[in-house]
Amino acid sequence: MITNTKLVERFFRYVKIDTQSSEEAEEQPSTAKQRALADLLAKELEELGATVDYDRDHCYIYAAVPGDGPEEKALGFIAHMDTSPAVSGAGVKPRIIEGYDGKDEILTTEDFPELLDHLGEDLIATDGTTLLGADDKAGVSEIMNMLEYFSTHPEISHRPIRIAFTPDEEVGRGTENFDVSRFGAKEAYTVDGGKLGVLEYECFHAAAARVKISGRSVHTGDAKNKMINSLRLAMEYNAMLPEAETPEHTEGYEGFYHLDKIRGDVEETVLDYIIRDHDREKFAARKKVMLQNADFMNRKYGSENVNGINIHGKELVQVEIRDQYSNMAEVMKDHMELITRAQEALRSLGVEPVTEPIRGGTDGAALSFMGVPCPNLCTGGYNYHSRYEYASIQEMEKTAELLILLAQ
């Protein structure tokens, strides 16, 4: 039974705005359409009595709500406005599945056994043509719900509150122009997780790698000892990586290499990878493997030739690696009181807390290294970055209650 209709209405309003970010853009925000949601949120924040500091150039919203106690004790809450470029976020048609019974045509328990845990709950899903945007508009909605609660219950005491809504988190740039001084909190929570009760303060060390492979295109009828097929070399490069160390074969603390995108032709092929590991030394070793594989192929083919073809000492394989974020556990180990508070709040709501490593990252990872320890809270969303994304209304309601308790 839905008990917080305003929370659901707010979520529906936000997910209908396309805020998909882009991996290809150099500017921030990576897509101008993210400003549509930012403009709406800035207006709604002001209506709720918050003081809004809107960095429209880079699409960051900072907001402050006074409370009891000194301002230096302000508690921050952070969520991101963009949605993943993996699946379209345009024309989202959210729908409510009341009293889920496992028989939905799109969300089946055969495909997603964890849905058995949601029997009888009210779920929000899409029509199967787009993602939903619960990542992270569920978090945005829950934060806004908290602020509305305090604005309509002035008799309830709470700490000074700071809010930040960020762009481009899904493309690893959520804190690129984040201003810690404008944010104004020395500790915070990102509201960007999944299952109710799960708390996260460990994440991957992360890097992006781009492998460029050069070739030489010649008519196939006259290609002998002339053609260099960059596509075939790309296949060889990828085959050198450990077959079992991919996302589909790993879990928990196990790291991986993930071939995220490949595009090319005979003349040139580009492979985009992400590299992940919770352990810093293993992470460094993974990056080294990417470089060593390129060096091996360049020596294999460059020192002599490619199948009798003179390549004049040219490097056929080039690798560029860019670090994205680090495991925030290295910072959080000195700020575990944030986890303890969240655990106590969850138990008071009748939810048993669980701590798990994030097999990904959040804005909180980078912010923790910028001086704002920032573990991650649940939102009640599932199957992120896919057409099968859904959110449990009951879990969203509990998360909204969790934020209120933490602010108190």
**What distance, in Å, lies between the first and last C-alpha atoms of the chain?**
26
Phi, psi of 258 (to 5 degrees): -130, 115
| CA–CA gap between residue 295 and residue 312 (Å, rounded) | 16
Q: Beta strands 198-199 and 354-355: pairing type?
A: parallel
Of the candidates 169, 187, 200, 363, the residue annotated as catalytic is 169
272 annotated to a ligand binding site: no
Is the Cβ–Cβ distance between 40 and 128 less than 8 Å?
no
Give the C-alpha separation, 314 to 92, whole Å: 48
Angle among Cα 277, 278, 281 to the nearest 5 degrees reads 75
**CA–CA dist 252, 80 (Å, integer):** 24
On whether 344 is known to bind a ligand per the annotation, the reply is no
Q: Does the annotation count 304 as an active-site position?
A: no
d(CA 29, CA 20) in angstroms, rounded, equals: 10
Does the annotation list 192 as a binding residue?
A: yes
Q: Which residues pair with 355 in a beta bridge?
A: 199
Q: Where are the alpha helices (DSSP H) in 249-392?
A: 280-302, 329-332, 337-348, 363-369
Count other C-beta atoms under 10 Å from residue 34's C-beta: 26
CA distances from 60 to 166, 170, 182, 259, 283 (A): 5, 15, 10, 31, 31
**Catalytic annotation present for 334:** no
**Binding site members:** 80, 135, 170, 192, 385
**Binding site members for Zn(2+):** 80, 135, 170, 192, 385
* Residues catalogued as catalytic: 82, 169
